[in-house]
Homo-oligomer: A and B are copies of this chain.
Amino acid sequence: MDISFLRKIHFFSELNDDELKKIFSVSSVKNFSKGEMIFFETEPYIGFYIVLEGGVKIFKISKDGREHILYFIYPYNTFGEVPMFEQYDKVSKEEFSYPANAMALEDDTKLLLIRSGTFYNLLEKNKSMSLKMLSGFAKKLRHLNKHIESLTQDVPRRLARYILDEKKQKSGEGKEYFELRMSKHDLASYIGTIDETLSRALKKIQDEDIIEVNGKKITVLDKQKLAKLAE
């Protein structure tokens, strides 16, 4: 079996075939269907996941039952790594748990589970791997910083930022439009608002001929104006 796809995962990129085989042999591939829970907050920690296909949302539920999405994770990215490293320097072997909930966004979402124990050994042996992980964490930190900054802006601005970011990521594919990878409900939750407000915000910037919305398809008509709106 060809497992070289594992090299698409950032911090495995420099491992040799034997090391990849070893990782693959101790990790497990799991399939999830749309809406299926991968783990719950407070559930005991067993390891972190890598998305191979599909998508995942990471979210919290506040006591009044509201959902707040922290991240969307797509292929070759990881989630649930934080407790693994918090654990590392703890003297006491207290139980660690997942800090948030994770749910599959699509049918046939395929994940690789890397169990904590097996991963520590790898880290010990591959100096480059911890640097790669550091770089991954740095990216997440930068992303969260942006997100926090964004949450103090008003909704149309937050939305404009999101669209610009998505557009940037999908650019180079020669397309003038992109498809939302999640439901509008999930997008609303991610930008920190509710369905109705998102709907109105989308309508507003559509009425100003800045974007065109067609179901999940969003076409940017005027990038200048959009950038100005996002500031």
A residues with a Cβ closer than 8 A to B are 10, 60, 62-64, 66, 68, 70, 81-86, 88-89, 99-100, 123-124, 127, 130-135, 137-142, 144-145, 147-149, 151-153, 192, 231
Complex CA–CA separation, A151 to B190 (angstroms): 12
Complex CA–CA separation, A139 to B137 (angstroms): 11
Residues of chain B with a CB closer than 8 A to A64's CB? 231
Complex CA–CA separation, A137 to B152 (angstroms): 24
Complex CA–CA separation, A10 to B60 (angstroms): 29
Question: Are B142 and A82 closer than 8 Å at their CB atoms?
Answer: yes
Residues of chain B with a CB closer than 8 A to A62's CB? 149, 152-153, 231
A224 shortest CB reach to chain B, Å:
15
Best-surrounded residue of A10, A124, A147, A149 (most CB of chain B within 10 A): A149
Task: Pick from B68, B132, B145: contact of A152, CB below 8 A.
Answer: B68
Main secondary structure of the interface of A (DSSP, over half): helix
Complex CA–CA separation, A152 to B61 (angstroms): 11
Best-surrounded residue of A70, A82, A100 (most CB of chain B within 10 A): A82
Task: Pick from B81, B86, B138: contact of A82, CB below 8 A.
Answer: B138
Complex CA–CA separation, A85 to B153 (angstroms): 28
22 A-B pairs with C-beta separation under 8 A:
A66-B152, A68-B152, A70-B145, A70-B149, A82-B142, A85-B134, A85-B135, A85-B138, A86-B139, A86-B142, A88-B131, A89-B132, A89-B135, A99-B145, A100-B145, A134-B137, A141-B141, A141-B144, A144-B145, A144-B148, A151-B151, A151-B192
Task: Pick from B99, B134, B138: contact of A130, CB below 8 A.
Answer: B134
Task: Pick from B10, B148, B153: contact of A70, CB below 8 A.
Answer: B148
Question: Are A138 and B137 closer than 8 Å at their CB atoms?
Answer: yes
